[in-house]
Structure 1
Amino acid sequence: MTKIFAHRGSAGTHPENTMIAFWEAERAGADGIELDVQLSKDGQIVVIHDETIDRTTDGTGWVKDFTYRELQQFNAAYKFADQYDVCRIPLLEEVLAWIRSTPLLLNIELKNGFIAYETLEQKVIDMIQRYQLEERTVLSSFNHNSMVFCRHLAPNIETAILYMEPLYDPWKYVRAIGADGLHPYHRTVSEPFVRQARNHRVAVRPFTINKEPLMQKMFRYGVDAIFTDYPLKAKKVRQNKKTP
């Protein structure tokens, strides 16, 4: 059965990449959550998507230029500020401490394509190992060199490559760099593509699947998982999925 990963938590209904968005994902019955990590000025692993805090908080500036304590001063309630009082940017450790007691899977996207956080891979892997979550975690990035490095550091943690444009023979490429999965933009995914990936034993988890007809299509294709901002809606669609 196609798994449902709540993209940045239940980001369609709650402030993205915050604890309440992750709690809601569990409540909605998602199989896992997806989140993004970067490093603060003092080397803390913080959960936030953009390289700046401008879009998702009431502050402005680069994530890398603030200490974790400084980042805590900003409200990450984002577009849901009228519904929720104050939401803080969480630490990865905060999420791992919580998720450990749940059955949820975890996809950690390393946001190191634009800014080269030199110690990000090692710090994230150390944290995953500390909480013994290696078997439930997938690491992903648009920075494929980073995924090669992660595989070198921790061969037992699954890795996947994110990409926007179609790749030629992606199953060969993903094996060449030692990764396990493909996380493609959904427009590059077709039924024959999914079939070929399955034949090569490569996982396919497209993003970001928010509209019901697209959810139905991906469930019909039999992708391994989808990333969606609306896990509750996706679960309902999956339960009612029409067989071809």
Structure 2
Amino acid sequence: MSSTAAFYLLSTLGGYLVTSFLLLKYPTLLHQRKKQRFLSKHISHRGGAGENLENTMAAFQHPPGLPVYGIFQARTMEWIAIPFSRGVISAVTIGTDMLELDCHITKDEQVVVSHDENLKRSTGINVNISDLKYCELPPYLGKLDVSFQKACQCEGKDNRIPLLKEVFEAFPNTPINIDIKVNNNLLIKKVSELVKQYRREHITVWGNASYEIVEKCYKENSEIPILFSLQRVLLILGLFFTGLLPFVPIREQFFEIPMPSIILKLKEPHTMSRSQKFLIWLSDILLMRKALFDHLTARGIQVYIWVLNEEQEYKRAFDLGATGVMTDYPTKLKDFLHNFSE
């Protein structure tokens, strides 16, 4: 290669790197910042699966009389139980900015709030929601495992699987994050119709890890903001590490990702191979990037990290620039945010 060609190559590469870095820090020089209809820092996973039975109206409403309530003292690392004696404390009242829930559709075309299509885990009965009419759905078990908290269960008296419209009616002004759990055109259509009926396009988010489901959601109703699918998350990471991200337009408005390191606390160390631990470590290093989160936030894209249940996890997420944290323990996160802001 001649010295002239090498000079032009290095000049081009240098210009690219400088431009990429500049636009990474100041993306609004190229892209119009997305309008944010609401901001969510505190998000209740399945309504708060560590404080009430997941995806129930009790989880969303947080009624009194349950022993899980209390104050988490961040400075002393103590959890002090404080029973509520009167009134109904809503999730919003205790500090939740957004409710996260999961949807399926029944045989008689009712949209229900449930994480699992098959109800064996949650009800003890091996049956699919899509095979039953709504009135035939079995009740939840009185005690369920908290999926993202090792060796922990949650009890509750409200064991009825609710309809999505019930949640909409109970929380008309609360942003709701809907995970469309199955690739079902009718489910997507019905959810869209309900969002329109209750005029919630501006405070509803929907999607799934599946690229195909997210595409169908957007095609069905482009007025409802969408989440990044797993495929799109991986693409964003590729663009970020190659310096191309600042030049690429983004349609989605919510970057919702896991914190890979929490997998280590959910499994026994002796059951994991060295290669598995390495992959988790590598995934965490690649995904938990402050420069990436800051860039997305500057473009008006909210960054949510799930599902975090410990103070050190909350702190790490916000220190990295996440705009919101999804938790099974809304009360604990509320107390942390109170102390974190001091």
Structure 2 partner of 1:88 = 160
> After the TM superposition, which of the residue ranges 73-82 and 234-243 deviates more from structure 2?
73-82
4+ long deviations beyond 4 Å: 80-83
Structure 1 partner of 2:259 = 186
* Distance in structure 1 (CA, Å) of the matches to 2:190 and 2:180: 11
> After the TM superposition, which of the residue ranges 1-10 and 82-91 deviates more from structure 2?
82-91
Query: Is 1:105 matched up with 2:175?
Result: yes
Q: Give the drift of 1:220.
A: 2.0
What TM-score, normalized to structure 1?
0.86
Given the superposition, is the C-alpha separation of residues 49 and 4 from structure 1 closer, same or farther in structure 2, using an over 3 Å criterion?
same
**Residue 36 of structure 1 contacts residue 49 of structure 1 at CA under 8 Å; is this kept in 2?**
yes
Secondary structure of 2:219 counterpart? helix
Q: Give the drift of 1:111.
A: 0.2
Q: Give the drift of 1:77.
A: 3.6
Given the superposition, is the C-alpha separation of residues 57 and 177 from structure 1 closer, same or farther in structure 2, using an over 3 Å criterion?
farther
* Distance in structure 1 (CA, Å) of the matches to 2:327 and 2:321: 16
Q: Give the drift of 1:164.
A: 9.4
The 5-angstrom pairing of residues 8-157 of structure 1 reads 8-24=46-62, 25-71=91-137, 73-79=138-144, 83-100=155-172, 103-112=173-182, 116-157=183-224
What TM-score, normalized to structure 2?
0.63
Secondary structure of 1:240 counterpart? helix
Q: Give the drift of 1:217.
A: 1.3
Task: Pick the structure with more helix per residue.
Answer: 2
Q: Which structure is larger by alpha-carbon Rg, 1 or 2?
A: 2
* Distance in structure 1 (CA, Å) of the matches to 2:98 and 2:154: 27
Q: Give the drift of 1:140.
A: 2.2
* Distance in structure 2 (CA, Å) of the matches to 1:61 and 1:153: 29
Aligned partner of 1:211 among 310, 314, 322: 310
Structure 2 partner of 1:198 = 297
Given the superposition, is the C-alpha separation of residues 185 and 48 from structure 1 closer, same or farther in structure 2, using an over 3 Å criterion?
same
Identity, in percent, stands at 28
Query: RMSD value over aligned CA atoms?
Result: 2.7
* Distance in structure 2 (CA, Å) of the matches to 1:136 and 1:154: 14
**Residue 147 of structure 1 contacts residue 179 of structure 1 at CA under 8 Å; is this kept in 2?**
no
**Residue 57 of structure 1 contacts residue 78 of structure 1 at CA under 8 Å; is this kept in 2?**
no
* Distance in structure 1 (CA, Å) of the matches to 2:107 and 2:115: 16
Structure 1 partner of 2:21 = none
* Distance in structure 1 (CA, Å) of the matches to 2:163 and 2:188: 15
Structure 2 letter corresponding to 1:110 = I
Q: Give the drift of 1:169.
A: 2.5
Given the superposition, is the C-alpha separation of residues 184 and 162 from structure 1 closer, same or farther in structure 2, using an over 3 Å criterion?
farther
The 5-angstrom pairing of residues 225-244 of structure 1 reads 225-241=324-340
* Distance in structure 2 (CA, Å) of the matches to 1:77 and 1:118: 32
Given the superposition, is the C-alpha separation of residues 177 and 48 from structure 1 closer, same or farther in structure 2, using an over 3 Å criterion?
farther
**Residue 205 of structure 2 contacts residue 226 of structure 2 at CA under 8 Å; is this kept in 1?**
yes
**Residue 9 of structure 1 contacts residue 229 of structure 1 at CA under 8 Å; is this kept in 2?**
yes
Give the gaps of 5 or more residues in structure 1: none
Q: Give the drift of 1:177.
A: 7.5
Given the superposition, is the C-alpha separation of residues 203 and 67 from structure 1 closer, same or farther in structure 2, using an over 3 Å criterion?
same
Structure 2 letter corresponding to 1:96 = F
* Distance in structure 2 (CA, Å) of the matches to 1:94 and 1:184: 28
Structure 1 letter corresponding to 2:179 = E
* Distance in structure 2 (CA, Å) of the matches to 1:198 and 1:32: 18
